A and B are shown apart, each in its own frame.
Chain A
Amino acid sequence: MSTTEAPKLSRKDFASDQEVRWCPGCGDYAILAQMQKILPELEIPKENIVFVSGIGCSSRFPYYMNTYGMHSIHGRAPTIATGLKLANPNLKVFVITGDGDALSIGGNHLLHVLRRNVDLTVVLFNNRIYGLTKGQYSPTSLPGAVTKSSPMGSIEQPLNPLSVALAAEATFVARSVDVETKHLQDTLSAAARHKGAAFVEVLQNCNIFNDGAWHHVTKDDDREDHLIRLEAGQPLRFGRDGQKQLRFEGLSLHVTDAGDGEPVLFDPTETSGATAYALSRMTYPEFPVPIGVFRQVAHPTYDQGMVAQIEQAQSKKGKGDLVSLYLSSDIWKVGGDGKTSNDIESIKQEIVKG
């Protein structure tokens, strides 16, 4: 880690010299821009930031960031990021992934990086389609989605990325939208500052193979009626004039008029995560789409645990000594008088002297 006072960085410092090669109009540009904008505010030296990605359109992201980066293989970015963080816990590690990369081929790794609470930030670009392979349905495509691989409509049930993340014990879970500039900045910033595994789903438009997948929350005139912006300590109100609200009836949330009963104040730190999970289940058009931070709880991180165990072992046993390690078994001597001393120190001397 650099010890000198780093000069203030700007957005430009985080742009690499590589030409950005996403399709014109792709939602990925907006996410890249917001990421480059928030990084200087984190005040982390550039050399301590690493972006690790898998395969897919989103996974080209590291090439465009002037930090350390790795464009790895399909679905495995969480595993690589975990090893990297454990090799050097001082690094700020981001995982950039997509719906196919994180939830299909890499589904298992996503579960485990979250449950272990490795201190890193996962940003999942969800466009509900395989773009790089030119338009097959993905694990978040809706039933009936007509794609190149589902000409008669998809017959699969999609995964809900946030429900998955919550079920996997993620300690920070959030959602934002590619075109919601300020909201996206705030969400990425909060995720990056979280200590532990942070998971952000960004609703991202693929204008070539699945244009309009999120138009209900980005383009429609009445889009504010289709969104609910989660804010800690605030009621679950939504609609153009805040005229509607969410209330629990039994174990599930229902839409009512804002004036009905006591408002539910949203608390992302609620340990059970029940409200966060109920919110994650809400899909358009029956419900508004929640965006913002669903869950944010403090929990020891995996890397802290590892470092603590190493420190504990070293304070108890001292820093490892190879000769003592070699001798940690029944030993015997050949040659000389054939006798071994019971004193480990004198045996060590004997070995070191040869």
Chain B
Amino acid sequence: MSTTTHTIPFEELSSVVVRFSGDSGDGMQLTGTQFTNASAIAGNDISTFPDFPAEIRAPAGTLAGVSGFQVNLSSHEIFTPGDDTDVLIAMNPAALAANIDDLRDDCILIINSDAFTKPNIKKAGFSDNPLENGSLERFRVYSIGLTNLNRAALEGIEGLTQKDIDRTKNFFALGLVCWMFDRPEESTLDWINAKFGKKPVLVEANTKAFKAGLHYGETTETFQLRYRIAPAKLEPGIYRKITGNEAIALGLVTAGKLAGKPLFYGTYPITPASDILHALAGLKHFDVRTFQAEDEIAAMGATVGAAFGGAFAVTASSGPGIALKSEALNLALVLELPLVLVDVQRGGPSTGLPTKTEQSDLLMALFGRNGESPLPILAACSPSDCFDLAVEAFRFAVRASCPVILLSDGYLGNSSEPWKIPNPEKLEPILVKHPVKVEGEEFFPYARDPETMGRPWAIPGTPGLEHRIGGLAKAPGTGNVSYKPEHHAQMVADRQAKIDRLADIIPDQQLFGDEAGDLLVCGWGSTYGAIHAAVARARSEGLSVSATHLRYLNPLPKNLEQVFSRFQRVLVPEMNGGQLAFYLQGTFGRPFESLTQVTGRPFKIDTIHKAIRKTLSKES
């Protein structure tokens, strides 16, 4: 390879959407993550969208096996991973075929031409080679023999098979893209050393592949331009990148610390929630007690038991698992024990789309239990919001002595954004009071706090407060079994009242845009970014539209009805069949217009923007 360096000019971009795509064994998630880390360290705002199949290794070269990782890098604040891809790295024909509809004209395609063999082209569903038939004319195509270039670069390293060498070609691609976008090398080199430190030959191989990619860009004349994205103006502070699942794990540990409580995490492996378990299992020095149960029911049961025992108890799952947990969750509701249940939603019904996102568990969270069984429901709107609401969920649980449901989804769980590291000393402590025996006073396990309507959290091991709790209907105060009509009616009312009173600590619903107008776009959960960006675009076009995003779904903020009343129309975009719209309509008795999407993918900004325009153009 020549060592001459060509001076290739830089073009300044305000933002760029890069997508890495290949076989699920090609290491695309890793490549995307490393590129994102380097970009975050370079100071860009970032938003990522990993998109991978449920099969661990679908047959190589097929569409079913394509794994993608999209990242939006920007010099200004961004809210989504981006609608359309600006740069696609396609490691094989299937990766090209899977993404071709999402590519805007003039998109840069970096293609591993070595993978465009006849069988691969056929497996991807192309009738002939798209690199040769002119079908990619609307794009800027860089067809590079990545496999062979990488093999040449790694020649002479002893102890590597051809297969080992080919497994490093993603680092060649990463090096090339890092060169193209002028990304710092250190974070990737550090990662290689940390990951493969015990196997020097792999450190050497991956480092060489990465550097070969960098040098390829620098020394060949393939590329006419490089790109720079200036650092974003984020709030000053120390930042890291965080996914929703990581943020939930950190938030739960933080909640335990704020209350001086051990954290108990009872769970059963399920996509896309398992990463929370992986994160927490490594935090035993925080007195985190992870328990991998025999099934979802046992995970929920153990969580109820741990809450009775006085731990900060939490379980997490996804749709099918939440369905299994509902009976034991309802037991916790009637026992009135504080705990947290996290639902990282995925496409349903049934097994559905394990690795794809959806918001279709809202009505299950609200109503999916037997009897009158209200529970507080919080919904995170971004990866970093997962941290805040994990802490908040425990605050609610302790206050109202009940389980709290925290809704996330596969998109929030796996995608990442910059997170300003908070000072835990500035977070409000969570006050937990366990009663002790007062001589001469009878203890009433179901006595109500007049302000919160919660009941005392008396834990086994406390002398003199021995008592029995259970799933049967009970008498107020004593909690003794009682089937008296007036007792049941009062207990049902009391359990509702303590949920309702959480509204006292829920902040007023805020608006983005004007306080009143023609249209309000109201969302919840992970659609925040797309809604915010779409409304900003519509407002810049002069449309009378505002946005509001619900993080508290039960109870709803006290001022919400009033907020709605100031708008002619309310549009509710959701990744389900219209569940929030249905709930709001039933609650407030006014019409809500629904924008629904159940494709397993997050909304594009454009989809919501178009819906805004369409709604406003309709006769009211």
Contact = CB atoms under 8 A, between A and B. Distances in A.
A68 B460 contact: yes
B313 interface: yes
Contact of A330 (B37, B286, B291, B301): B37
Contacts of A318: 285
Interface in B271-303: 283-289, 291, 293-295, 297-303
Interface residues of B, number: 77
Contacts of A331: 238-240, 421
B460 A334 contact: no
A297 interface: no
A333 interface: yes
B266 interface: yes
Interface in B459-478: 459-472
Interface stretch (B19-27, B422-430, B520-528): B422-430
A320 to B, nearest CB: 3
A352 B335 CA distance: 39
B262 interface: yes
A271 interface: no
A46 B288 CA distance: 28
B332 to A, nearest CB: 10
Interface of B: 37, 40-43, 187, 231, 233-242, 250, 253-254, 257, 262, 264, 266, 283-289, 291, 293-295, 297-311, 313, 327-328, 331, 335, 421-426, 459-472, 480-481
A52 interface: yes
Interface in A314-346: 314, 316-320, 322-323, 325-327, 329-336, 338, 340
Given A318-B285, A330-B37, A83 B303 contact: yes
Nearest to A303: B289
Interface stretch (A74-82, A121-129, A273-281): A74-82
A79 B283 CA distance: 23
Contact of B460 (A83, A91, A330, A350): A91
Given A79-B293, A333-B239, A84 B41 contact: no
Contact of A325 (B283, B306, B461): B283
Interface string A80-94: 111111111011000
Contact of B289 (A1, A47, A86, A347): A86
A73 B471 contact: yes
Contacts of A313: 284-285
Contact of A16 (B239, B331, B468): B468
Q: Which 5 A-B pairs have the closest CB atoms?
A: A335-B236, A79-B301, A87-B309, A83-B305, A71-B470
Contacts of B241: 329-330
A112 interface: yes
B240 A327 contact: yes
B443 to A, nearest CB: 12
Given A76-B328, A88-B310, A333 B305 contact: no
11 contacts: A45-B463, A62-B470, A79-B298, A83-B304, A86-B289, A86-B291, A109-B297, A109-B298, A330-B40, A334-B43, A335-B236
